[in-house]
Amino acid sequence: MPEIVLMGHAGRIEARYHHSRNVNAPLVMVLHPNPLQGGTMNNRVTVALYNAFVENGFSAIRFNFRGVGKSEGVHDKGEGELTDTAAVLDWIQSVNQGERPLWIAGFSFGALIGMQLLMRRPEIAGFVSVCPPTNLYDFSFLAPCPVSGMIINGANDLVCPVENVNKLVEKLNSQKGIKIDYRVVPDCDHSFQGHLDTIKNYVTEYLNAKYIKSAVNM
């Protein structure tokens, strides 16, 4: 899991990248929560998501948004962070030539940025969003949502209340051709303390149900 440095519009972007030994491995980018609340690429939920995809045969990257860790720049309220994510997408595609599935995953603020990029990059084939902050941001841009995906939330989450996430899931599932695999983790708050393996298990179940069995044996 080597540390790498990419170039973005605000300067250097600090990242961790796992390159699968499978030459046809699918790709995933994993996005961390809000830097203003201490979010980094080493957040444990972010790492759990990252490891889930790695263990299921993906080439995976997670990175620090601008102004976090060794990444240059300053927090930009989502606009610059979206630009950072697009730059990382360009990089991972450049080192993995050829057509292959590309996924995006994110936790909280990272889920918001990931779903925004989903609307701008048609090559994204699927998503996993953990605790999308639907109480803090307007997710009406997902109309129509281009692909199906998975949403996970804690039943006792006070930061991203499940009641608000329920409404987003209902709206997405009402769209033609869209199916959201929605999992609510019992007795779980925003920290997912004691539930990190649950996230990994849910992601594995979802990926296996989709198409990934052919990419597991590396």
**Whether the Cβ atoms of residue 77 and residue 114 lie closer than 8 Å to each other:** no
Q: What's the pLDDT at 191?
A: 96
What average pLDDT does range 145-169 have in this prediction? 98
**Whether the Cβ atoms of residue 132 and residue 144 lie closer than 8 Å to each other:** no
Structure token digits, residue 174: 């009402």
Proportion of the chain above pLDDT 70, given as a percent: 96
Position 136, amino acid: L
pLDDT band (50, 70, 90) for residue 39 = very high
The DSSP bridge pattern shows strands 27-31 and 3-8 to be unpaired
Three-state DSSP class for residue 62: strand
Which stretches of 145-215 are assigned E, i.e. beta strand?
Answer: 149-154, 180-185
Q: What's the number of domains the chain is made of?
A: 1
- Please provide the size of the chain in residues: 218
Residue 64 domain-assigned (yes or no): yes
Residue 215 domain-assigned (yes or no): no
Nearest by Cα to 203 from 21, 18, 1, 30: 30
Which residue matches tokens 């209340």? 161
Digit-coded pLDDT (tens) for 48-96: 999 999 999 999 999 999 999 999 999 999 999 999 999 999 999 999 9
Region of residue 56 (phi > 0: left; psi between -120 and 50: alpha; otherwise: beta) = alpha
Position 180, amino acid: I
Residue 99 domain-assigned (yes or no): yes
Residue 47 domain-assigned (yes or no): yes
Nearest by Cα to 86 from 24, 203, 7, 17: 7
Asked whether the predicted pLDDT for residue 213 surpasses 60, the reply is: no
Residue 7 domain-assigned (yes or no): yes
Residue 32 belongs to domain with CATH number: 3.40.50.1820
DSSP codes of every residue in 121-132: -TTEEEEEEES-
Three-state DSSP class for residue 77: coil
Three-state DSSP class for residue 175: coil
Three-state DSSP class for residue 217: coil
What average pLDDT does range 164-170 have in this prediction? 98
Asked whether the predicted pLDDT for residue 214 surpasses 60, the reply is: no
Query: Which residues form the domain of 193?
Result: 3-210
Digit-coded pLDDT (tens) for 168-180: 999 999 999 999 9
Residue 168 domain-assigned (yes or no): yes
Residue 217 domain-assigned (yes or no): no
Asked whether the predicted pLDDT for residue 216 surpasses 60, the reply is: no
Digit-coded pLDDT (tens) for 99-117: 899 999 999 999 999 999 9
pLDDT band (50, 70, 90) for residue 1 = low
Residue 218 domain-assigned (yes or no): no
Q: What's the pLDDT at 211?
A: 62
